[in-house]
């Protein structure tokens, strides 16, 4: 079971408010904590403002992490959302 995945921000606008809100919606469904990590800085994936504060323009590598293997499906859904450019590509 993977508890984290590295992904690259694909969409031109980067990780903006609407994209952060979509991540937060998925993260709220998890049983455990979900984090977005950039350059060693870890934030709660349910907090839109914390996600935006990471400043992740297009091309930025982030990691998505869950603390419970039971949330691997949520982890994969968030990673896929990021990899597909939040539907903006």
Annotated active-site positions, please?
Answer: 16
Between CA 25 and CA 45 the distance in angstroms is: 9
- Helix locations, the chain, DSSP H: 17-27, 48-53, 72-83
4 Cα distance to chain centroid: 10
Residue corresponding to tokens 């968030």:
78
Mapped onto helix, strand or coil, the DSSP state of residue 89 is coil
CB 74 within 8 A of CB 44: no
């Amino acid at each position: 079971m993977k508890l984290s995945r590295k992904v690259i921000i694909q969409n031109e606008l980067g990780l903006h408010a609407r994209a952060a809100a979509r991540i937060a919606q998925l993260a709220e469904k998890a049983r455990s904590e979900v984090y977005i990590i950039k350059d060693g800085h870890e934030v709660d994936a349910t907090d839109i403002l914390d996600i935006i504060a990471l400043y992740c323009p297009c091309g930025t590598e982030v990691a998505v992490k869950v603390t419970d293997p039971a949330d691997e499906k949520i982890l994969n859904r968030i990673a896929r959302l990021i990899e597909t450019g939040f539907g903006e590509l």
